[in-house]
């Protein structure tokens, strides 16, 4: 691509009658070509890209520049013009790198320069300078690999350019497509992606000579404008002809593309703390409440797996450290104990029976203990939260909790053979057993004593019994 190549091309122009596509003879070796195109730099000056397109050229490789001279002065105009005219556009760096680090720096320079533009064809490492002549084939190959792997990691499709002689004799094998310069009627390099067959072509829209190329490899499924493409049993995603990596959005769904561009669909994805789940069929990120492997998980709108207590549809659910929905009792030392029912929802403001025992959980889901009013009745729950039955004594007095657990109030009940009255607060008072046949009344004082207990019988009790006896005798 250098000036010396164009000078050599002038000498070969007679032998290579196809130096211009205008009136060129048919080549047997070009019968399987896909397209024809050009590569340009500052040496072509201002290019009329519409004229190039109208002349039948469908692609162009634009020189980005080099580490020595910086950006090619016509780079921006050529990138914009070629894209506007509808050509497929690739780009190349002329390399002066002699170390892997240098090649990576050149790749980073190329990536930064390409960022504002659409790059629909390969990004090329032009390896041919005199600084490379004394390097070993392995050293040259390492430069190509360093450059190509770096641009590939940025989503571009890499390619290596050099002469046929260099590619067959000076550069060791690399796994990247080859663009071969051989100014001849045939390209003797096997299976090149592109063949630069002359540097002395003439093309409408360009003053002077220009490099001409044939394309042999089909990139329609390798460099895709936008969306998913299936290739070699894998799926890849593109945006503006760049392969994407990491999370991508497509049609309202989120996907994750691996470092090699392949779609991730192996389920769990993350670092153990920030976890996502990618569907194992089509790779889309799961969201909301999902069952995986017999367990339920909740993923937020951004797909991040949630932990702890999560409100969903008016109910609260608990998700453990592993993200799985929790069931049963859960104790928070600071707040108290909660219970998560069979459907995973938290019990709140309700009585719940667990293993035959009844518990009450308040509106915040905390398990109740002590005296608790529920539906106009009062119940007693022990320190372990279980509903209590029978007698309960505190500083206020004795209370009794019936078979249904409710506290006896405003009632007279026989409990364990004894009679008690219970006031509005549930406080019990024992009703004495009356035995009038054992009563003796002092005729002087009028005081009645129960000889069984030795206790004085209240006058009103005596009067009540007398009245009852009189009534019974009628």
Does 182 reside within a domain?
A: yes
Does 469 reside within a domain?
A: yes
Does 272 reside within a domain?
A: no
Quick: pLDDT tens for 281-340. Answer: 999 999 999 999 999 999 999 999 999 999 999 999 999 999 999 999 999 999 999 999
Give the per-residue pLDDT at 31. Answer: 61
d(CA 147, CA 158): 8
Does 77 reside within a domain?
A: yes
Among the candidates 195, 215, 235, a domain finishes at: 215
Does 385 reside within a domain?
A: no
Provide the total of helices (H) and of strands (E) in the chain, helices listed first.
7, 34
Q: Report how far apart, in Å, the C-alpha atoms of 231 and of each of 30, 192, 206, 228, 294 are.
A: 27, 20, 38, 10, 33
Per the structure, the count of domains in the chain is 2
Q: Are strands 246-250 and 253-257 parallel, antiparallel or unpaired?
A: antiparallel
Q: What pTM was computed for the model? A: 0.79
Domain that holds residue 466: 437-473
Q: Report how far apart, in Å, the C-alpha atoms of 409 and of each of 377, 414, 423, 473 are.
A: 9, 13, 5, 35
Does 165 reside within a domain?
A: yes
d(CA 99, CA 363): 70
Among the candidates 197, 215, 233, a domain finishes at: 215
Among the candidates 189, 215, 241, a domain finishes at: 215
Give the per-residue pLDDT at 30. Answer: 56
Does 133 reside within a domain?
A: yes
Query: What CATH number corresponds to the domain at position 134?
Result: 3.20.20.80
Does 74 reside within a domain?
A: yes
436: Cα separation from own chain's centroid: 87
Scan for tokens 């992606």, then name that residue.
193
The overall average pLDDT reported for the chain is 93
Give the per-residue pLDDT at 2. Answer: 56
Q: Are strands 315-319 and 308-312 parallel, antiparallel or unpaired?
A: antiparallel
Average pLDDT, consecutive stretches of 10 residues, N- to C-terminus, the chain (474 residues): 46 36 39 92 98 99 98 99 99 99 99 99 98 98 99 98 97 98 94 97 98 98 97 97 98 97 98 96 98 98 98 97 98 95 98 98 98 97 98 96 98 92 96 85 92 87 79 67
- Cβ atoms 199, 209 nearer than 8 A: yes
- Cβ atoms 125, 147 nearer than 8 A: yes
């Amino acid at each position: 691509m250098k000036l010396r190549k164009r000078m050599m091309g002038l000498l070969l122009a007679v032998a290579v009658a196809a130096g211009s596509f205008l009136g060129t003879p048919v080549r047997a070796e070009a019968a399987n070509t896909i397209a024809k195109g050009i590569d340009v730099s500052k040496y072509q000056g201002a290019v009329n890209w519409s004229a190039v397109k109208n002349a039948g050229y469908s692609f162009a490789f634009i020189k980005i520049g080099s580490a020595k001279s910086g950006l090619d002065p016509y780079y921006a105009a050529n990138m914009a013009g070629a894209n506007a005219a509808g050509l497929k556009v690739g780009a190349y760096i002329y390399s002066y790198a002699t170390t892997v680090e240098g090649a990576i720096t050149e790749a980073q320079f190329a990536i930064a320069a390409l960022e504002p533009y659409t790059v629909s064809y390969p990004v090329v490492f032009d390896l041919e300078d005199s600084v490379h002549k004394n390097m070993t084939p392995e050293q040259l190959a390492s430069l190509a690999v360093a450059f190509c792997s770096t641009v590939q990691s940025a989503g571009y499709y890499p390619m290596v350019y050099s002469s046929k002689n260099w590619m067959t004799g000076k550069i060791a094998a690399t796994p990247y497509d080859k663009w071969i310069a051989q100014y001849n009627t045939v390209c003797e390099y096997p299976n090149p992606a592109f063949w630069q067959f002359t540097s002395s072509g003439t093309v409408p829209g360009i003053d002077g000579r220009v490099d001409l190329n044939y394309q042999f490899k089909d990139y329609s499924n390798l460099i895709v404008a936008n969306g998913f493409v299936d290739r070699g049993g894998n799926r890849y995603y593109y945006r503006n002809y760049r392969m994407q990596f990491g999370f991508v959005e497509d049609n309202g769904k989120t996907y994750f593309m691996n470092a090699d561009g392949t779609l991730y669909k192996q389920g769990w994805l993350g670092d153990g703390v920030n976890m996502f789940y990618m569907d194992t069929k089509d790779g889309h990120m799961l969201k909301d409440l999902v069952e995986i492997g017999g367990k339920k998980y909740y993923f937020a709108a951004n797909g991040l797996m949630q932990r702890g207590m999560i409100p969903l549809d008016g109910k609260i659910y608990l998700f453990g450290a592993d993200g799985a929905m929790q069931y049963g009792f859960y104790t928070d030392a600071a707040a108290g104990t909660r219970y998560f029912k069979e459907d995973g929802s938290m019990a709140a403001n309700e009585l719940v029976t667990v293993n035959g025992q009844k518990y009450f959980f308040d509106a915040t889901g905390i398990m109740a203990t002590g005296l608790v009013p529920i539906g106009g009745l009062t119940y007693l729950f022990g320190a372990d939260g279980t509903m209590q039955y029978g007698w309960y004594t505190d500083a206020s007095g004795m209370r009794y909790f019936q078979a249904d657990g409710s506290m006896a109030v405003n009632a007279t009940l026989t409990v364990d053979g004894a009679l008690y009255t219970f006031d509005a607060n549930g406080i019990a008072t024992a009703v004495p057993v009356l035995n009038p046949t054992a009563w003796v009344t002092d005729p002087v004082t009028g005081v009645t004593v129960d000889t069984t207990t030795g206790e004085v019988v209240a006058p009103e009790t005596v009067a009540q019994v007398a009245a009852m006896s009189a009534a019974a005798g009628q």
